[in-house]
Amino acid sequence: MQSASDLPVHTRSAVDELVANIRHLISSQKLGVGDGLPSERELCERFATSRNTVREAMRMLKAYGMVEVRPKVGATIIDNRMARAFDLFSLNVMDVSRKMFSDVQGMRGLLEIASVDLMLDRVRENDLSELLQINSELPRIQTIEEGGEVDFRFHVRLLTILENRAILDVFQTMKPVIVRIMKNGKSPVDFQSRIHGEHLGILDALKARDRIWYQYATQSHLNSGIAIFDEGDETERVL
């Protein structure tokens, strides 16, 4: 296995970059409902990316309600009101309230903790190995933005164990607010040390296939950020 120093620190995935480029393409060319997008091959050439990246980006755009992909027709723009709502949602999570924190982390608990039996049944050595590799990037991050991205990728990979595309789509759609909560009140040192250690606890529990340990480790991790809120405070500014 590679050492931690050999592993890259990612700030934005190729899929996220391509989704942003396609959305800019739609906006700049004033494409509307019913208009077609360039073919998979054309998107690969235009944005110098791979077919797998294009396909994953299309899955995300479908989850946002922006495109419909049909055989022999390709990607067609559909009613984009959901995408506009997504943009508005992204811009309006500058403040993270105690209520928002509790609601979002509670939702994550339903996905990551309530699924414990399925998680322990399906986890394999390659899952643990890839999760460990992602987590090994945290001690070397330099900014909270990098920390938030690596933290998010860790939990996406964790949910991949469930083999449920709908769960992944929901989690990816919630990325703006989830990442803001992950970064809220933290410094790079928090990601390098505490978050890295909490992830290791989750991985140890998974490896041991210990139901109670996994639930405790994951719940403690999701709740760790609530300490920055005062009981009477509704809002805490994201740093």
- Give the contacts of 204 (CB within 8 A, at least 6 positions apart): 213, 217
Domain count across the chain: 2
Whether residue 122 sits in one domain with residue 66: no
pLDDT of residue 53: 92
> What type of residue sits at position 59?
R
Does residue 139 fall inside a structural domain? yes
| Residue 1, pLDDT above cutoff 70 | no
Task: Look at residue 214 and give its three-state secondary structure.
Answer: helix
Whether residue 63 sits in one domain with residue 113: no
Q: What is the DSSP string of 69-131?
A: EETTTEEEE--THHHHHHHHHHHT-SEEEHHHHHHHHHHHHHHHTTTHHHHHHH--HHHHHHH
What confidence tens digit (pLDDT) does each residue in 187-236 have?
Answer: 999 999 999 999 999 999 999 999 999 999 999 999 987 777 655 554 44
66: domain CATH number is: 1.10.10.10
List 97's β-bridge partners, or say none: 235
Bridge pairing between strands 67-70 and 74-77: antiparallel
Domain, as residue range, for 189: 94-237
Whether residue 120 sits in one domain with residue 102: yes
Q: What is the mean pLDDT of the chain?
A: 84
Among 11-25, 27-41, 52-66, 82-96, whose mean pLDDT is lowest?
82-96
pLDDT of residue 209: 96
Q: Are 69 and 58 in contact (CB under 8 A)?
A: yes
- Give the contacts of 10 (CB within 8 A, at least 6 positions apart): 137, 146, 149, 150, 153
Does residue 18 fall inside a structural domain? yes
Distance CA 52, CA 43 (A): 11
| Residue 65, pLDDT above cutoff 90 | no
Distances from the Cα of 28 to the Cα of 6, 25, 208, angstroms = 39, 5, 52
CA contacts within 13 A on the Cβ side of 85: 10
66, 85, 104 - which closes a domain: 85
Does residue 6 fall inside a structural domain? no
Whether residue 167 sits in one domain with residue 76: no
